[in-house]
Amino acid sequence: MTTQMTGKVAVVTGGSSGIGFATAEAFLREGARVAICGRSQETLDAAASELARIAGPDQVFAYTCDVLEEEAVQAFATSVGDRFGRCDALVCNAGQARTSNFSNTSDQDWRDEFELKFFSVLRPVRAFIDMLEGSGAGAIVCTSAMLARAPEPFLIATGATRAGQLNLLKSLSKEFAPKNIRVNAVLIGLVDSGQWSRRFESGEGPDGSKIPIGLSKEDWFIELAKSRHIPLGRLGTPTEAANAILFFASPMASYITGETIEVTGGQARNV
């Protein structure tokens, strides 16, 4: 069975590292051309160089862009059109978790989380919607989080805005269905996409607890999986998340829209 992505064009925001980079790799290995964006030119250049080893430099386009800046996102879309002439799949991947609870989350923190979680989707969708419609079988996939359905008090702003993001995506799936554009989300659990490694290096866990001195990152990940009651007993990998994103973006999911896949190692408790 094939994903039928050969010859198609996939755009991945936040595609220079972590899950976004793994997703770009997955598309390239399936024969698609890939455009990625990110804020760091140095990181983008390194990512583009590595991705080019998979399918050649002609199949990869990297563009410096902050997805919260409307003009920059539109310029990115124009450049993708000039380079590849189309967009068949848009992966909205930008975003990160904010560690805070009710008492220490300021009004500006709430505003920042809302802008990041909503406009990192809204602006790319606006910019690429015409090309997605022109595809005849366009797909939008948003990387979200299990947190949207299983709130944590120490991630209050991120959880609330992730939940709102799912509501937005459901609405978009209804509105865009007549245009033959599907909209789905991948809910990520504990995946070592870089954020968890950075937390280990900082010495502080996501709930504010201190990581014991002398504990290796691998052992901390195992303890973390146990504490979160993950049945598979480990953190996921970016590639495992990317595989779910690839499925939703591909014609293999041609009759699926407005839905979610949970990549959580069995951690999710909802039926």
Q: For 222-235, what is each residue's pLDDT tens digit?
A: 888 998 899 999 99
What pLDDT, on a 0 to 100 scale, did the predictor assign at position 161? 95
Is residue 208 predicted with pLDDT exceeding 70?
no
Report which DSSP code applies to 98. Answer: -
Per-residue pLDDT band for 62 (boundaries 50, 70, 90) equals: very high
Q: Whole-angstrom Cα distance, residue 247 to residue 66?
A: 26
What pLDDT, on a 0 to 100 scale, did the predictor assign at position 222? 86
Give the mean model confidence (pLDDT) for residues 189-211.
Answer: 78
Give residue 223's Cα distance to chain centre. 25
Domains of the chain by start residue, with CATH: 9-189+237-263 (3.40.50.720), 192-235 (no CATH)
Q: Where are the alpha helices (DSSP H) in the chain?
A: 18-29, 41-55, 70-84, 107-135, 156-176, 195-202, 217-227, 238-249
- Reading the block at residue 76, the tokens are 């990115």
Residues whose CB is less than 8 angstroms from the CB of residue 133 and which lie 6 or more positions away in sequence, other chains included: 179, 180, 181
Mean pLDDT of the chain: 93
Give the least confident one: 83-92, 140-149, 197-206.
Answer: 197-206
Q: Around 175, how many Cα atoms within 13 Å sit in the side-chain half-sphere?
A: 9
Sheet holding 33-38, edge to edge: 60-64, 33-38, 9-13, 89-92, 138-145, 181-188, 260-263
In the chain, what percentage of residues exceed pLDDT 90?
Answer: 79
Please, which residues bridge with residue 33 across strands? 9
Nearest Cα to 100, choosing from 162, 154, 148?
154
Nearest Cα to 164, choosing from 98, 119, 202, 125?
119
Q: Whole-angstrom Cα distance, residue 155 to residue 102?
A: 9
Q: Whole-angstrom Cα distance, residue 148 to residue 113?
A: 13
C-alpha torsion sign, points 119, 52, 247, 132 = positive
What pLDDT, on a 0 to 100 scale, did the predictor assign at position 99? 87
Q: Whole-angstrom Cα distance, residue 10 to residue 88?
A: 6
Which tens digits make up the pLDDT trace of 63-101?
999 999 999 999 999 999 999 999 999 999 977 888 899
Position 83, amino acid? R
- pTM, 2 dp: 0.93
Rg (the chain; Cα; Å): 18
Q: Around 239, how many Cα atoms within 13 Å sit in the side-chain half-sphere?
A: 3
